[in-house]
Structure 1
Amino acid sequence: MSAALEVVRAGVRTTVQDLGRPGFAHLGVPRSGAADAGALRLANRLVGNPPEAAGLEILLGGARLRATRSVTLAVTGAPCTVTVDGRPADPGFPLAVPAGALIVLGRATAGLRVYLAAAGGIAVPPVLGSRATDTLSGLGPGQVRDGDMLPLGPVTGPPPAVDLAPYPRPAGALRLRVWPGPRDDWFTPAALVTLFTAEYRVSAATDRVGARLTGPELTRAVGGELPSEGLVLGAIQVPANGQPLIFLADHPTTGGYPVIGVVDPADVDLLGQARPGTEIRFSPTDGYT
């Protein structure tokens, strides 16, 4: 039998993710991929995988897995307890797991998404060059379920010589940098002041598609309808209720509500770990004059 991870308990919502499938937006296919790409890259580095290898994204932790062969694993992202056959193990380290061992991930104590990488990567069949589960379009493998056997690819390299890689704990308050437009001129000057001075909160209606925020309304200066136009990762769209929505990994490729700005790509990973209730504030970049 080939090396694999047996899913004993999948948890609330576990998916296979890599760095996504860029380059297909013109066909209506989102990039998808890990909501916290930095955490997945780190987990892959710790087990000797290339950055684009597929791993598991586990919402709030709580998963149990069994290795059919000895394997090196790493756990990053939202902090949680980790045990291997009942013995405590540390996130942020390469973990040598013997054949048959049970890996238990506890509930995340902060943030939203735990990442698990295995040496060789999760080797489910790729779709359009990626193994990512896209929850919006349905591309890629289905959601991971209890009893699934997740095949592992061949090991391509050893873990790094440095065996600990600190990763910042998800924060309870975030300040996100914003680039202007493309439709900031559809909003009143007061709305732009509000965007950069008010406090918003992540609502419970947040998922891999986008983070809906609650806070002061952003008022429009231009009425009427906007023809659908392209959307990018981090776009801050403002629906008719005036409450901003920030698009994440599984965002649609087009939308009809105006986009007041775009969160800097370097800050999007932070939002991928933001629990409902997290305070959000925005800062203008040098793009604003």
Structure 2
Amino acid sequence: MRPLLLVRKQGVYGSLQDQGRYGYRAYGVPTAGAMDRRSFQASHLILGHTDNETSLELFIGGFEFEALAEATYVLTGAESICLVNGLPIEMWKTFQLKKGDRLTIQRVVKGAILYLTPYGGFQAEQQLGSRSCFPLGHMGESLQKGHILYGQSVASSTKTRGLYAPYRPQFESHRVVRAFKGPHFHLFSIESQQQFIETTFQFVSGNRMGYYLKGGVLQLQQPRDILSEATQFGTIQVPKSGEPIVLMADAQTVGGYPIIATVHEDDLDQIAQMRRLDTVKFTLMEV
């Protein structure tokens, strides 16, 4: 391993993530991994990676890094203003940093999450077969000012690679997201079932565990206790407040709130990229 980047300024939240920690959900360990898997996977395709390499997942912006060695990188995900030594660089296309260069993730324009990936990926200790950070399970650490990020001892690539603009995902402030009926959909009142598919919900807060939505109060036909059931990334639970919560990558593996629906796997990236006050409308799919 060799030191690649020094964290000079800490933004909202950053952590190392790979494709996730599989095979341990039966023991209560979430999969974790990249929230926007499409942007994450695109970064590794651009760099030509074939293994489960690791990226730095950054929320919103406000980060600054100092290069400690020469290396090739790519930035993917949310549309952001990114600078090298004060000059703007294009996302979704490889760029080089030399020792002493400053990389600034100034702010996010559309979306919420971006991925910084070096050629060869970042290096960190593997825990249960993954380098994904999961602080609640004491696996890895979230990014802090003064942290040094390490990479492989590989030569930087001089060839420019990238993804053409028409193929880059777009993250608008309003989304229409596909979902499947959950195991408790039939327990909700007819009015709440209709409200779920007709209401435009607004994202008000959240983190890697869950996104909280407002827009309508969903109610069961009659109050009842629900046995805890398995949950997953994309499960939409409805607590007693009646306001839905979309479970995200670090969420618990079981839950006792009624599950009204589950987000289609191919639309999870759109949910993950929501930022405060963005809106979403759900459309139900047949199994």
Same fold (TM over 0.5): yes
For the Cα contact (< 8 Å) 2:34–2:40, is it kept in 1?
Answer: yes
- Corresponding residue for residue 148 of structure 1: 147
1:160-171 alignment runs, 5 A limit? 162-166=161-165, 167-171=168-172
For the Cα contact (< 8 Å) 2:200–2:281, is it kept in 1?
Answer: yes
SS at match of 1:260: strand
Q: Deviations along 1:228-278, whole A, 9 cap, x unmatched?
A: 111011111010111111111111001111101101011111111101111
Which blocks of at least 5 consecutive residues in structure 1 are unaligned? Answer: none
For the Cα contact (< 8 Å) 1:94–1:159, is it kept in 2?
Answer: no
Q: How many residues align?
A: 285
- Corresponding residue for residue 212 of structure 1: 212
- Corresponding residue for residue 273 of structure 2: 273
- Corresponding residue for residue 253 of structure 2: 253
Judged with a 3 Å threshold, the aligned counterparts in structure 2 of structure 1 residues 280 and 160 are, in CA distance, closer, same or farther, namely: farther
- Corresponding residue for residue 199 of structure 2: 198
- Corresponding residue for residue 172 of structure 1: 173
- Corresponding residue for residue 15 of structure 2: 15
- Corresponding residue for residue 120 of structure 1: 120
Judged with a 3 Å threshold, the aligned counterparts in structure 2 of structure 1 residues 257 and 43 are, in CA distance, closer, same or farther, namely: same
- Corresponding residue for residue 244 of structure 2: 244
Higher normalized strand content (fraction of residues): 2
Deviation at 1:158, TM superposition (A): 5.5
For the Cα contact (< 8 Å) 1:48–1:158, is it kept in 2?
Answer: no
SS at match of 2:40: helix
- Is the aligned partner of 1:186 residue 2:187? yes
For the Cα contact (< 8 Å) 2:43–2:75, is it kept in 1?
Answer: yes
- Corresponding residue for residue 40 of structure 1: 40
For the Cα contact (< 8 Å) 1:179–1:261, is it kept in 2?
Answer: yes
SS at match of 2:52: coil
Cα distance in 2 between the residues matched to 1:211 and 1:102: 33
Which blocks of at least 5 consecutive residues in structure 2 are unaligned? Answer: none
Task: Name the amino acid aligned to 2:259.
Answer: V
Judged with a 3 Å threshold, the aligned counterparts in structure 2 of structure 1 residues 42 and 256 are, in CA distance, closer, same or farther, namely: same
Judged with a 3 Å threshold, the aligned counterparts in structure 2 of structure 1 residues 156 and 253 are, in CA distance, closer, same or farther, namely: farther
Deviation at 1:75, TM superposition (A): 0.7
- Corresponding residue for residue 223 of structure 1: 223
SS at match of 2:179: strand
Deviation at 1:45, TM superposition (A): 2.1
Judged with a 3 Å threshold, the aligned counterparts in structure 2 of structure 1 residues 160 and 192 are, in CA distance, closer, same or farther, namely: farther
Q: Deviations along 1:175-207, whole A, 9 cap, x unmatched?
A: 11111121112212222111111111111x311
SS at match of 2:56: strand
SS at match of 2:194: helix
Deviation at 1:51, TM superposition (A): 6.2
For the Cα contact (< 8 Å) 1:236–1:262, is it kept in 2?
Answer: yes
Cα distance in 1 between the residues matched to 2:188 and 2:162: 50
Task: Name the amino acid aligned to 1:228.
Answer: S
For the Cα contact (< 8 Å) 2:72–2:156, is it kept in 1?
Answer: no
SS at match of 1:78: strand
RMSD of aligned C-alpha atoms? Answer: 2.0
For the Cα contact (< 8 Å) 1:179–1:263, is it kept in 2?
Answer: yes
Cα distance in 1 between the residues matched to 2:57 and 2:256: 30
Deviation at 1:154, TM superposition (A): 4.2
For the Cα contact (< 8 Å) 2:19–2:52, is it kept in 1?
Answer: yes
